[in-house]
Amino acid sequence: MDLAVFLLAAAIAYAVPIVYAGLGGQISLTAGDLNIALEGEMLAGAFVAVLVTYILGSPWLGIAVAILVGGVLGLLFGVMIVTLKGDVFLVGITYNFLLGALTVLLLSIIFGVRGSFSSPQLTGIPIMPIGPLAHVPLLGPVLSGQTYVAWLVVPMVFAWGYVLRSTPLGLRLRALGDNADAVRSAGLDVARMRLGVQMICGMLCGLAGAQLALGTLTLFSSGMSAGRGFVALAIVILVGQRPWMLVLAALLFGIADGIGIKLQQADVPAQIPQMLPYVVTLLALCAVSARRWRAARRDKTSA
Amino acid sequence: MHSLTKHIYTSVILGAALMTGLGDANADSPKVGIFVADSFGDRAFLDIALGGKELVEKQYGATVQTYEGRQQADKFFRQLSDAGRANDFVFVLGFEAIDAMMQAAEANERAHYIFIDAALDSPEVSSVGYRDSEGCYLVGALAARLTVSGLPLANPQKVIGFVGGVDSPVIRDCEAGYKQGAAVIDAETVVKSAWVGSWTDPAKGKIVNQSLNQDGSDINYQYAGLSGEGGFDNVRGGSAGYALGAGFDQSSLAPGFVPGSMLKRVDQTILRVTSGIIDGKLQKGFTETEGVAEGSLTMVYNDKLVSADIREQVETLAKRIASGEIKVTSAR
Amino acid sequence: MQFDAMAPVPVARRHVLVTFAMEAVTTFAIIAFLGAVAVAVMGADPLAAAAAALRQTLAGQYEVAGLIALSLPLMIVGFAAAASFKGGFYNLGLEGQLILGAAIGSIVGAHVGPFWSPLHIAMVLVAGGIAGGIVAWALSWLRVRFGVDEVVSTLLSNYIVILFAIYLATYPFRDPTRFNGAMHRIAPSARMSTLVEGTELTWGLAIVVAIAAVLYWLLHRSKLGEDWTLMGRSPSVARNCGIDARRFGMLIMTSSGFLAGLAGAFMVSATQHRYFANLGLGLGFDGILIAMIARYRILAVSFWALAYSWMLLAADGIEQEIGIPSEFAQVVIAIVILGVAVRAGLVSWIVAQVRHLSKPAAPLPATPPAPPPAEES
């Protein structure tokens, strides 16, 4: 395996769950709510996926129930911030605490173990065969090990991009984020829309967790989302409403992470190369912001 | 509402019955505390200590109370003080709690704390340290031997891997022992090390293992707690070599792909120290250091993957360490 | 509505102590109710649990002092969060700023001096504050200079800054007798002296009271505080009122970072006496939580820091005496906070439902009418 294959494969492995959670975050942010609970909802999805797959023996059922439970959790989150007017930050941070503790508690109640659970009976998401594509140099080895759920990212991002840009629904969502009052005066039920958005966000986080626990790995371990929800959130704010940029940014982060691992070989304190993905993302954020900033200025002066 | 009241009422009676039952059974038995600075469920050091709880309960009928610090450092002193008062003696695990423990020992002279994992040489507390580098030396020797053994998934390169949870002195100590053990088998063996940066991120742990695979390593030592489970997940498919376990016998995490594990018998230490204190052989203020010679760091092997002569070779090294013939340099 | 003390629009200004008393009563009612239900669900005795909780936290001077000691750093980081959020800046980097403050304070305490104790303690605290302040200042500079969103930049800065602090403790400033990446112990002159013997409560209490008093005056009683609030509500209005929004924004962020760093250094000087890897993890988000529940009011932050610490210790007490797993207590604490977070909305929702039931003739709205938005959030 050469270095490029490793870096790309690692980047994809890292990026897929982040992209799913990020899509949820992007939809939520488009509708005007900054959902900081991606981390916890993803963790819950991972737990449910492993639990159901272990009991029922089918990863597909595991994924389905993870999405379902994610939707319920998202809806509950929505009720707290929309219907009950809780602050989205406060509720989000607490939701992360809650789901973090709840998964550990259920792990010990249901499986009688603490920390992690894996079993030979736990089947992962099957890998999608890609036929002759597997023999293409570089791309072949990278793409041949990906699960069906990982591949699903592509149509999902296409679909969401299409919905966002070219459908009345996308227009409404964007309007909801820009100016909720205008949407309300247009006769739409703002509260119901925001609830729906949170439900979809939760479903995507459930899927992200399922891919993390049954695609990237085949196990559940307490706190296994390990900051991925926050990375997804950061990337969402970084890229705004552009779905493909989300994918690109997540891959960039994954590659930087892989390079950081490789740089540890230089016999330096490991903390320094471990900073790399975060530094790269921060620099990318600065570059993107500076460009936007300058463009906005130019518009202002030329207008 | 009625059913709720009823439920509460039932649980009151139930709870009361439960508590009196407990009280009667253990009136004279020793009271032992186990404090951990983090929380249980690390699938490593702390969970092994929890195994010690069961041993002590079974052997001595002791009442064992556990305390979890959850890394909230400002609670340590308070919890340790309480534990010191409520128990005959308290095992303390986690370097983060050393200062709080010393302070609690100063404040309450009657409390007896036994720190596990470092020799503190203090008259106010007892302590047991481990020469981790010795155990990791054996693992390094095993890995270096296996990488050229012609196992089906071993490549011809003399490269082995070490996966650490976070870069900290105690992990560097093990890494140093691992490298020395590998060098004893074959000075040309290359040890590649990588750190996950977390004890609880198995997905990242898997990528770190794949990075080592890409460097040519076919056998990686998982010294990374829950993150190490990503390393076992990595080999489970049968295309990424082998993984070596630490702490427990971790062969069940990837059956058929774990040639061996290094056991760190914290549970036995807890049992032994408990019996020593109860028999009066160990007094407050003792300091011990344990390693291969004391049987606190031992190897288990999967005989299907490790041939008798390899096993023999590693066990001979263990004997030479135990006799003091081999001195493993510590990096602590 | 008696228990609607936190309602967004208080009709008349209540005395601050009355508000607190009501907050305290409602909070403890919520905690007691949910806690009792939870304990009963686990099959244990709620009364015994309540007794255990009270015994562990309020039984005597030792328990109360321990409770206050635990809450002091939380108060300071809560102030830090309140300062930035009230001014309209979402500083999610408090955790990193706190940890860097602890690391730098620890270095100053161990490698500079010893000096006359009050001076040395002040140096430790100020050094930690400056360290946290510099991080926040740099990020706020990026925000005003290039429009770099501070939510992301502060969130990402946590990882970088914490890794850097751990590096400092593992390599250049490591105490070689410790094996977990711990710095040298600070000199005795840099340690705060104990206020209540046998507990961790130190004279740092006076420092926190002083900080709270100054911040209360600055943020709630002075012209600066009005501008601060105005910035939080609408930077453009603030600009029209003649405030230099850029410089003021940097001031808000930097002071928030300073306070966070101070909180970290405070932990080092008051209780921990050194920085080590893992110290302070989670405190940043705890501080945000506390500040938000308190709606960025300084005195309410102090109260909520105490209440939060009380919950942590009470949960420990129940865990020890009744044997309920600690995750369960965490779940209950999280549900309590969620309950508190939505209680104003819950009350108005119930009111709306009741009204709507009592007036069957009126057409049913799909959702309850929106109560006025929260004033300061």
Give the neighbours of chain A: at least 3 Cβ pairs within 8 Å: B, C
Its ipTM equals 0.94
Instruction: Read off the pLDDT band of C2 (50, 70, 90).
Output: very low
Task: Determine the 3-state secondary structure of B192 from DSSP.
Answer: strand
Q: Is the pLDDT of residue B26 over 70?
A: no
The CA distance from C235 to B28, in Å, is 69
Tokens describing residue A276: 């790399």
User: Nearest C-alpha of chain A: how many angstroms from B196?
Assistant: 8
Q: C119-178, pLDDT tens digit by residue?
A: 999 999 999 999 999 999 999 999 988 889 899 999 999 999 999 999 999 999 999 999
Helix axes C298-322, C204-216, angle to 10 degrees: 140
Q: What percentage of chain B reaches a pLDDT higher than 90?
A: 85
Instruction: Read off the pLDDT band of B13 (50, 70, 90).
Output: very low
- Cross-chain Cβ contact C200/B77 below 8 Å: yes
Q: What pLDDT, on the 0 to 100 scale, is given for residue C253?
A: 96
Mean pLDDT estimate for chain C: 87
Spell out where B94-247 has E strands: 113-116, 126-130, 159-164, 190-195, 219-223, 242-247
- Domains annotated for chain B, with CATH where assigned, are 2-116 (3.40.50.2300), 132-265+294-322 (3.40.50.2300)
- Cross-chain Cβ contact A286/C148 below 8 Å: yes
Question: What pTM was estimated for this model as a whole?
Answer: 0.91
> Which positions 90-149 of C are in contact with A (Cβ < 8 Å)?
90, 142, 146-149
- Cross-chain Cβ contact B43/A116 below 8 Å: yes
DSSP per residue over C253-318, as a string? HHHHHHHHHHHHHHHIIIII-S-BTTTTTTHHHHHHHHHHHTTT-HHHHHHHHHHHHHHHHHHHHH
A261 touches chain B (CB under 8 A): yes
The CA distance from C3 to C10, in Å, is 12
pLDDT means over runs of 10, chain A (303 residues): 90 96 96 95 97 96 98 97 93 95 93 90 92 87 91 96 94 92 90 96 97 96 94 93 95 95 90 95 91 83 62
Nearest to B229 among A116, A120, A264 (CB): A116
Q: What pLDDT, on the 0 to 100 scale, is given for residue C13?
A: 58
Q: What pLDDT, on the 0 to 100 scale, is given for residue A69?
A: 98
Angle at B160 between CA B158 and CA B164, to 5 degrees: 165
Nearest to C180 among B19, B68, B170 (CB): B170
DSSP per residue over C208-232, as a string? HHHHHHHHHIIIIISHHHHHHHHHH
- Cross-chain Cβ contact B47/A262 below 8 Å: no
The CA distance from A224 to A209, in Å, is 9
- Taking one residue from A and the other from B, the number of pairs with CB-CB distance under 8 angstroms is 102
Residues of A in contact with B167 (CB under 8 A): 269-271
Nearest to B211 among A2, A223, A262 (CB): A262
The CA distance from A86 to A80, in Å, is 6
Nearest to C43 among B14, B67, B173 (CB): B14
Q: What percentage of chain C reaches a pLDDT higher than 70?
A: 89
Q: Which residue has the tokens 């405070």?
A: C266
The CA distance from B330 to B318, in Å, is 16
Say how far residue B218 (Cα) sits from the centre of its chain. 24
How far lies B252's CA from each of B204, B240, B256, B272, in Å?
21, 17, 8, 27
The CA distance from C207 to C201, in Å, is 12
Q: What pLDDT, on the 0 to 100 scale, is given for residue C361?
A: 52
Phi/psi at B201 (5° precision): -125, 80
Strand partners, C90: none
Tell me what the mean pLDDT of segment B113-119 comes to. Answer: 95
Q: What pLDDT, on the 0 to 100 scale, is given for residue C376?
A: 40
Q: What pLDDT, on the 0 to 100 scale, is given for residue C364?
A: 46
Instruction: Read off the pLDDT band of C48 (50, 70, 90).
Output: confident
How far lies C254's CA from each of A130, B290, C89, C157, C227, in Å?
53, 50, 11, 14, 16
Nearest to A85 among C327, C334, C371 (CB): C371
Residues of C in contact with B72 (CB under 8 A): 282, 312
Q: What pLDDT, on the 0 to 100 scale, is given for residue C345?
A: 84
How far lies C231's CA from each of A216, B218, C217, C227, C296, in Å?
45, 59, 18, 6, 14
Mutation pick from C180, C197, C268, C331 vs chain B, by most beta carbons of B within 10 Å, is C180
- Cross-chain Cβ contact A105/C325 below 8 Å: yes
Tell me what the mean pLDDT of segment C229-252 comes to. Answer: 89
Q: What pLDDT, on the 0 to 100 scale, is given for residue C7?
A: 41
SS3 per-residue string spanning C138-162? HHHHHHHHHCCCHHHHHHHHHHHHH
DSSP per residue over C38-88, as a string? HHHHTTS-HHHHHHHHHHHHHSSHHHHHHHHHHHHHHHHHHHHHHHHHHTT
Q: What pLDDT, on the 0 to 100 scale, is given for residue C18?
A: 75
A237 touches chain C (CB under 8 A): yes
Residues of A in contact with B230 (CB under 8 A): 217
Q: What pLDDT, on the 0 to 100 scale, is given for residue A116?
A: 92
Helix axes B202-214, B229-236, angle to 10 degrees: 60
Instruction: Read off the pLDDT band of B169 (50, 70, 90).
Output: very high
Tell me, what amino acid is at C110? A
Give the neighbours of chain C: at least 3 Cβ pairs within 8 Å: A, B
Residues of B in contact with C271 (CB under 8 A): 73-74, 77
- Domains annotated for chain A, with CATH where assigned, are 3-302 (1.10.3470)
Check if the beta carbon of residue C101 is closer than 8 Å to that of residue C132: yes
Check if the beta carbon of residue C59 is closer than 8 Å to that of residue B29: no
Name the closest residue on chain A to residue B192, using Cα atoms.
Answer: A265
B11 touches chain C (CB under 8 A): yes
Q: Is the pLDDT of residue C373 over 50?
A: no
Name the closest residue on chain C to residue B34, using Cα atoms.
Answer: C320
Check if the beta carbon of residue B203 is closer than 8 Å to that of residue B125: no
Q: What pLDDT, on the 0 to 100 scale, is given for residue C159?
A: 96
User: Nearest C-alpha of chain C: how many angstroms from A134?
Assistant: 37
Spell out where B78-237 has E strands: 89-93, 113-116, 126-130, 159-164, 190-195, 219-223
Phi/psi at B37 (5° precision): -70, -25
Name the closest residue on chain C to residue A269, using Cα atoms.
Answer: C167
Q: B83-98, pLDDT tens digit by residue?
A: 999 999 999 999 999 9
Q: Is the pLDDT of residue B222 over 50?
A: yes
- Cross-chain Cβ contact A97/C167 below 8 Å: no
Q: Is the pLDDT of residue C66 over 90?
A: yes
The CA distance from C66 to B295, in Å, is 41
Tokens describing residue C283: 């405190």
